[in-house]
Amino acid sequence: MSRNLAVSPARIAADIDALAAITDPNRPWTRRAFSPLFLEGRAYLENAFRAAGLETRIDAAGNLVGARKGRTPGIGTIMLGSHSDTVPDGGRFDGVAGVVVALEVARGLEEAGIELEHDLEVTDFLAEEVSIFGVSCIGSRGMAGVRPDEWLGRKADSMTLAEGIRDVGGDPDAEQKARDDIRAFLELHIEQGPVLEGETLDIGVVTAIAGITRVEIIVEGRADHAGTTPMNRRADALAAAAHAVLAVETLSSALAATPGHFAATTGEFEMWPNAANVVPSRVRMLLDIRSEHRDDLGDFLTSLEAVLEGIARDNGVSIAPPRLVSDNPAMPMDDLVMDALDAACQTTGAGHRRMASGAGHDAAFMARIARAGMVFIPCRDGRSHAPEEFAENADIALGAEVLLQAVKRLDTQLMEQ
Q: Does 298 share its domain with 339?
A: no
Please give the tally of structural domains in the chain.
Answer: 2
CATH of the domain at 217: 3.30.70.360
DSSP string, 349-417: T--EEEEEESS--THHHHTTTSEEEEEEE--GGG--SSTT----HHHHHHHHHHHHHHHHHHHHHGGG-
Domain contains 1: no
pLDDT the model gives residue 213: 97
Q: Does 119 share its domain with 62?
A: yes
Pick the last residue of a domain from 325, 352, 368.
325
138 pLDDT exceeds 90?
yes
Going from the C-alpha of 233 to that of each of 52, 242, 318, the distances in angstroms are 73, 18, 15
Domain contains 3: no
- Confidence category of residue 91, pLDDT binned at 50, 70, 90: confident
Asked if residue 245 lies in contact with residue 297, where contact means CB atoms within 8 angstroms, the answer is no
Q: Does 156 share its domain with 87?
A: yes
State which residues form the domain around 36: 9-209+330-416
Q: Does 316 share its domain with 342?
A: no
pLDDT the model gives residue 149: 96
Domain contains 2: no
Q: Does 225 share its domain with 112?
A: no
Domain contains 251: yes
Q: Does 155 share its domain with 260?
A: no
Q: Does 282 share its domain with 399?
A: no
Domain contains 117: yes
Domain contains 295: yes
When pLDDT is averaged across residues 286-290 and rounded to a whole number, the result is 97
Q: Does 345 share its domain with 202?
A: yes
Q: What is the dihedral of CA 125, 126, 130, 132, to 10 degrees?
A: 170
pLDDT the model gives residue 1: 53
The number of angstroms, rounded, from the C-alpha of 219 to the middle of its chain's C-alpha atoms is: 32
Rg (CA), the chain: 24
When pLDDT is averaged across residues 351-377 and rounded to a whole number, the result is 98
345 pLDDT exceeds 90?
yes
Q: Does 26 share its domain with 63?
A: yes
Please name the residue ranges forming H helices in 293-362: 294-315, 335-348
Paired sense of beta strands 155-156 and 55-58, if any: unpaired
pLDDT the model gives residue 255: 97
The mean pLDDT of the chain is: 97
Q: Does 47 share its domain with 148?
A: yes
Pick the last residue of a domain from 309, 325, 341.
325
Asked if residue 94 lies in contact with residue 85, where contact means CB atoms within 8 angstroms, the answer is no
Q: Does 82 share its domain with 181?
A: yes
Domain contains 17: yes
Domain contains 236: yes
Q: Does 60 share its domain with 178?
A: yes
pLDDT the model gives residue 4: 86
CATH of the domain at 163: 3.40.630.10
Pick the last residue of a domain from 325, 341, 361.
325
